[in-house]
Each structure stands twice: as structure tokens, then as C-alpha cells.
Structure 1
Amino acid sequence: MAQQALAETDDGGAETGRRETRLRRLLDRAARGRRGDRRIWRRGFVTAVVAVLLAGVLAGHAHIPNAVGNLGSLTETFLPWSGLLIPVLLLIALVRRSATALLALVLPVTVWSGLFGGLLTTKSGGGGDLTVATHNVNADNADPAGTARAVAASGADVVALEELKASAVPTYEKALDRVYGHHAVVGTVGLWSRYPMSDVRAVDIRLGWKRAMRATVATPEGRVAFYVAHLPSVRVKLEAGFTARQRDRSADALGEAIKGEALDRVVLLGDLNGTLNDRALNAVSSQLRSTQGAAGDGFGFSWPASFPMARIDQILVRGVEPEGSWTLPATGSDHLPVAARVKVDTSAS
């Protein structure tokens, strides 16, 4: 009996030891888990900081100064592309298993979606009674006749062309006059219309040569003031940054001309050499509505034609309702043509 009691005691002690061992293991696992929980918040701090800075650039781009190299305008020109940093940061956060970085990414995702999320969907409608198009045809275009035919094939009622080389104008006229009964060329820009045109004149955009014009087009729904403009090019130089002073002065002059327009219905067609995010175009964009933003198919990037990265070719309106906006197939130019369908507001005078 004594031996049996001793054996039972030994078994009980062994069982107690096993229980204590299991308890220690559980406690060790819990401690490791707590340390792991702390690590997922400590890891990825740099990634989180970059995400917050990206959100700050997106939300506060208007406050980035232009004093040095027009950095603000340069940032705004390619602002939509900043969203490409988000999936990169997300991948880093997942690899690092960083809860802090993942939480910080909510900020740029929210801000970018607020700015550009609406451009990810198609907003084109089926209405509209006037189709317009604009195209920087490129002075060095090797196939002006083919380019003209391609633009005319869009079915546009009114077509604006920019960067017209004087020697190529007769070629464009020959190709387009078969479709459009009315046209006018002023300097390096021109306007072709199915409907009668009047009050054609150059618009001074402070260049010393003619790169903008204005005409009244008598559409079936009423008179519409059409402006065609080709603002000066901008350059990105290592020593000077984003050089755009001449473009900015011309944009201000164009804005003044549109502000003084007597007709309520206005359509601006042209290569503005800037996106509508760029504050330098505020003199124009603050008065007119973007057909792409209101009724476009995606971002509608138009330049360069080989790999479009920015929407610098614009169709802006006032007193007419955008119904659709899209880019046309590439031609012999380094720009894509863009087109829009609008409904002329018959209540406007």
C-alpha cells in the first residue's frame, strides 16, 4: 500500500509538472504575441511618414510655392500620377507587416480618391446637340491631309486646329472644306464649322504673334462664342525648373478676353499647355467648366500621343451643358485630338 501511495504521489507530481510546463508555454506564447503586437505598430515608421507626406502634397498642392522653379505648377501638372505611390507603399506595408503604415495609407487614399476618383468612371451621356473637337496638329506633321481627314471623321460640327504651319494651311483647307462650309485661320490657329461664322478676330494673348482667335458660330440652337488658343509651351530645365512665365502671362490675357465676352454661351478649344490642376490657368479655368471633368471618359490624357501623361488639350465651356468628352485616335501629331458633345442651353442669350 505504501508503494502504491508513493507511486500515486509521483504520478501526481509529474502531472503537476506537466501542467506547469504547459502553463509556462502558454504564458511565453502570450508574451511573444504581445511583443509581436507591439512590433506591428513599431515597424514601417518611414513608410507611414511617406504616406502622410503624400497626403499632404495632394491636399495642399495649392500651397506649394512657385517661387523656386515653379515647383507648385510642376507638381500640379502631374498630380494624378502621384497615386502610383499608393500601391507601392501598400506593398511595402504588407511586406513589413506594419499596422502603422497601413493605417497611415488611409490618408492619401482618401485624398486622392476625393480629387481624382470621379475620373475613374465614365460619365458620358447620350444627349447633346453639338459636337466639337480640338487638335494640336504639330507644325512638323508629315501627314496633314490624313490628320485633317481623321479629325473630320469624328463627326464634329466645329473643329479647332492649333500649330498650323503656313505652308500646310492649304492642305488642311482642302481636306476640311469638303465637310465644313465655313472656316477662318488666324495666325497659327484655325476654326472650321458646319454653321455660319461671324465676328472673327484675333485675341491678343501677349505674345507678339497670333496664336488665339475668337468667332461667333450660329448653331441651330443659337449663337455661341468660340475661342481657339494655343498657349506657349513650358519646359522643365535642371537649372531653372518648370519655366512657364510666358504661358502664365498668356493664360491671364486669355482669361481677360473671355471675361469680357458679351455672349453667355462660350466654348474654348485649344492646347493650353497645362492641366486644369495647374493654378497658373486659374484666370481661364475659374470662368469655364471642363467637359472632361463633367462628362469625360477617364482622365482623357492627350499628350504625348505615344504615351499620354497629361491633359493639356482642353475643351472648356460656359452656358452649355457637357454631355460627353473623349480622346480620338492618334494622328501624325504628338498630341491626341480631343472631342466633346454639349447641349446648347437655349435659355442663354
Structure 2
Amino acid sequence: MTDSERGQTMVRVETAESGQGDAERPDTGAGTWRAAVRRAIRNGSRPEPWRRGLVLAALALLLGLLMLLHARIPNRVGNLGSLVESFLPWFGLFVPVLLAGALWRRSASAVAALLLPVTVWLSLFGGLLGDRSRPGGDLTVASHNVGADNPDPAGTARDLAASGADVLAVQELSHQARGTYEKELAKAYPHHTVQGTVGLWSRLPLSGIRPVDIQMDYGPLAATKPTDVKMTYNRALRATVATDRGPLAVYVAHLGSVRVNPRAGFGTAHRDRGVQALGRAIAAERNERVVLLGDLNGTMDDRAFDGITSRMRSAQEVAGDGFGFSWPAGFPVVRIDQILVRGVEPVNARVLPTTGSDHRPVAAGISW
């Protein structure tokens, strides 16, 4: 045997012995687990997942800061702060979008940054996700902007009468439709008053009825109404409802509309003047128990309503189910139809089915 052949034989023997040793060594579960842990540690210690998706991480942090510091967004330029606050709950929709992007990019930094907007959104609106209503209540109140161009005022009136409300507030009541509502609601509500474009119907006696000056000029809003529909200027009233638990002061209001203009921004001047005047009237109200019903053309997150929300609570936020969006009727995105209370306790709040109006009615049960 030559030296070359002898070397090849030795290599084959060593290879066979090495393979036999590997075959006899069992692949234990503990070894596999330890190897998996080592691989995870190596992968986690690599910088790539934290370096990827930095733009997504920055957007997530900006979203969280926007919601967290919304009250500091100035209104000096186009009422930007009020505009953001009007749609503040919807900013939460950016979270799943950013999360999908973070997962697609496999970005650990973006996922971690999303903890900020999620935490802020839940702190602001998490309490509105569940059903906070409970049965009972001494009195049921309802409010509806019936729409000046409502094609079926009689049907709307019948729907409102069937709601079971003891006290019903109506806004945007045109001169042409007033007789229809008075006729259709007379049987269910023997007491009523109409002041301008707002009205109040009640199963219980009314007293102390007077218009409330909310310093509203009709202005450009007239251009949005059909030419054959005439509206008067008064858009708020105050009345006392005589209940078996004592008097209840009821305010009905329809504040000025708002407009989003690319040049002027979020136009709220007419509404904001009405908010201030209405806030002064409620602050001067001597009755301890007060309910405000109406189309306020704004959400209670909007800082413009601080003068009212500092004295009154939203029935929807206290005892509703969800956000209670009421406008537009076809696909509501904001709650601008409000029921606010002082001195009484909301026990339930809800949005009623659609009528012929572009708003949905809202109702709440209140208790002494």
C-alpha cells in the first residue's frame, strides 16, 4: 500500500468515526430551546430593526403629541385648534395605519413609538367605548334639528312623538313647517312654545318662557337654505318645566353654523358669539336643575365650549353608549347635537333613528 493510499484510508476511517459519533448524540429539547434563545438574542441585539422605519416612528410620536397637546394648538391661524379638537377622536384611525406600516417594515422603533398615541387616545376616549347607560330615570328629554328643507316634516314629527320623550326640543323649524309639527305633536305634547326657529314641546306644564339672545345674525347661512324656506332670527329659548320633583330649567339653542374654508380656515365666528352669550345666560340661571338641548354646531372637545362645559356635563359622555355621533345623518362623524345637564344625573343617552333631516335625534334619561 502506498503512502497515498494509506492516507486516504485513514481519512475514511476518521470520517466514519465522526459520523457515528454524531448519530449517537441525541438532539435534546433543551438544546433546541437554548439554540432558539441564542438566535433570538442575536437577532434582537442587531441594530437593523431599530434603525428601520424611523420616519414611521417620528410620525407616531407626532400623532401622540398632537393628541396630547391639542389644547396648545393655537386658534390664531384659521381656528386650527378648534378644527383639530372637533375631529379629535378620528385621529385614532392613524394608529392601525402606522402599525401596519411598522409591521411591514419590521421596525421595532415604530412599534415602540406607537405606544404614545395609543396611550393618549385611550386616556382621552377609552371611557367612551363601553356602554355607560343604566335603566331608570325620572324624565326623558330629546332634541332634534328637524331641517328646514326636510321633505317629510309630518313623518319626522310622528317619529319624535313615538320616541317616548317627555320633553322635546326642536331646532331649524321653518315658518312653513311649524303648523305641521304643531298638529302632529299636539296629542302627545299638550304644552309647547315656539320662539323663532326653535321650539319646545312638553307633556308637563311650561312657564317662564322667553327667548334668549345669543347675538346671532343669519349672515352667509341664508345661502345654504332653499329660497322658499323663510327663517326668523331668534334661535334660542328658555322655559321652566314643572315636574313632580320640582322645576327644571330647559334651554333650547341652535348655534351658528361653521364652515371650513381653504383661505379663512375653520369659520366659527357666529357660533362662538352664540356660545359666549349662551354661557352667560346659563351662568346667570338661578334654578339649580338645568338642561340644555340643541344643535350647538360643535363637539364638546372644542375649547370654544369651555364656558359651558365648565358648568354642565354631557349626558352622552356620562351615560351613553359609544361616541353618539349625530351628523350627518347618513354617516355620522361628529356629535354636534347635544344634551347637557346641571343639577340632575344622566342615566342613559342615545342617538335615535334617522328621520327626514340631515341630523339624527338625540335623547337622554335624567334622574333627580
What is the CA–CA distance in structure 1 between the aligned matches of 2:125 and 2:274, rounded to whole Å? 27
Equivalent position of 1:94 in the other structure: 103
What is the CA–CA distance in structure 2 between the aligned matches of 1:192 and 1:131, rounded to whole Å? 12
From 216, 231, 251, give the equivalent of 2:275: 251
When residues 68 and 121 of structure 1 are mapped into structure 2, their CA distance, relative to the original with a 3 A threshold, is same
Equivalent position of 2:30 in the other structure: none
From 230, 234, 237, give the equivalent of 1:213: 237
What is the CA–CA distance in structure 1 between the aligned matches of 2:258 and 2:184, rounded to whole Å? 31
From 109, 114, 136, give the equivalent of 1:105: 114
Equivalent position of 2:53 in the other structure: 44
C-alpha displacement at 1:325, in angstroms? 0.4
From 192, 200, 214, give the equivalent of 2:209: 200
Matched position secondary structure for 2:287:
coil
CA RMSD in angstroms comes to 2.4
Q: Does 1:83 align with 2:92?
A: yes
Q: Does 1:177 align with 2:186?
A: yes
Matched position secondary structure for 2:65:
helix
- Report 1:133-172 matches (<5 A): 133-172=142-181
Matched position secondary structure for 1:139:
coil
What is the CA–CA distance in structure 1 between the aligned matches of 2:234 and 2:88, rounded to whole Å? 31
Equivalent position of 1:289 in the other structure: 313
What is the CA–CA distance in structure 2 between the aligned matches of 1:31 and 1:225, rounded to whole Å? 67
What is the CA–CA distance in structure 2 between the aligned matches of 1:15 and 1:205, rounded to whole Å? 99
What is the CA–CA distance in structure 1 between the aligned matches of 2:161 and 2:101, rounded to whole Å? 49
Equivalent position of 2:331 in the other structure: 307
Equivalent position of 2:367 in the other structure: 343
TM-score (norm 1): 0.91
Give the gaps of 5 or more residues in structure 1. Answer: 17-25, 345-349
Equivalent position of 1:241 in the other structure: 265
What is the CA–CA distance in structure 2 between the aligned matches of 1:45 and 1:183, rounded to whole Å? 62
Matched position secondary structure for 1:267:
strand
C-alpha displacement at 1:283, in angstroms? 1.3
C-alpha displacement at 1:8, in angstroms? 3.7
**Which aligned segments of 4 or more residues in structure 1 are displaced greater than 4 angstroms?**
1-7, 9-16, 29-36
- Report 1:259-298 matches (<5 A): 259-298=283-322
C-alpha displacement at 1:141, in angstroms? 0.7
Q: Which whole-Å deviations, capped at 9, do the CAs of 1:69-91 have from their partners, x for residues lacking one?
A: 11100100011011110111111
What is the CA–CA distance in structure 2 between the aligned matches of 1:6 and 1:137, rounded to whole Å? 100
When residues 35 and 292 of structure 1 are mapped into structure 2, their CA distance, relative to the original with a 3 A threshold, is closer
Matched position secondary structure for 2:144:
strand
What is the CA–CA distance in structure 2 between the aligned matches of 1:31 and 1:53, rounded to whole Å? 31
Give the gaps of 5 or more residues in structure 2. Answer: 19-34, 218-232
What is the CA–CA distance in structure 2 between the aligned matches of 1:320 and 1:37, rounded to whole Å? 60
What is the CA–CA distance in structure 1 between the aligned matches of 2:135 and 2:39, rounded to whole Å? 62
When residues 217 and 43 of structure 1 are mapped into structure 2, their CA distance, relative to the original with a 3 A threshold, is same
What is the CA–CA distance in structure 2 between the aligned matches of 1:175 and 1:160, rounded to whole Å? 15
- Amino-acid identity (%): 59
Equivalent position of 2:25 in the other structure: none
What is the CA–CA distance in structure 2 between the aligned matches of 1:11 and 1:247, rounded to whole Å? 95
Q: Which whole-Å deviations, capped at 9, do the CAs of 1:112-137 have from their partners, x for residues lacking one?
A: 01111111111110121100000000
Matched position secondary structure for 2:178:
helix
What is the CA–CA distance in structure 2 between the aligned matches of 1:197 and 1:228, rounded to whole Å? 13
When residues 239 and 218 of structure 1 are mapped into structure 2, their CA distance, relative to the original with a 3 A threshold, is same
What is the CA–CA distance in structure 2 between the aligned matches of 1:31 and 1:258, rounded to whole Å? 63
TM-score (norm 2): 0.86
C-alpha displacement at 1:37, in angstroms? 3.0
Q: Which whole-Å deviations, capped at 9, do the CAs of 1:323-346 have from their partners, x for residues lacking one?
A: 0000000001000000000102xx
From 302, 324, 346, give the equivalent of 2:348: 324
What is the CA–CA distance in structure 1 between the aligned matches of 2:45 and 2:339, rounded to whole Å? 55
Q: Does 1:229 align with 2:238?
A: no
Letter in 2 for 1:278: D
Matched position secondary structure for 1:322:
strand
Matched position secondary structure for 1:218:
strand
C-alpha displacement at 1:12, in angstroms? 4.9
C-alpha displacement at 1:100, in angstroms? 0.7
C-alpha displacement at 1:235, in angstroms? 0.1
What is the CA–CA distance in structure 1 between the aligned matches of 2:240 and 2:323, rounded to whole Å? 30
Matched position secondary structure for 1:133:
strand
Equivalent position of 2:23 in the other structure: none
Equivalent position of 2:26 in the other structure: none
Q: Does 1:116 align with 2:125?
A: yes
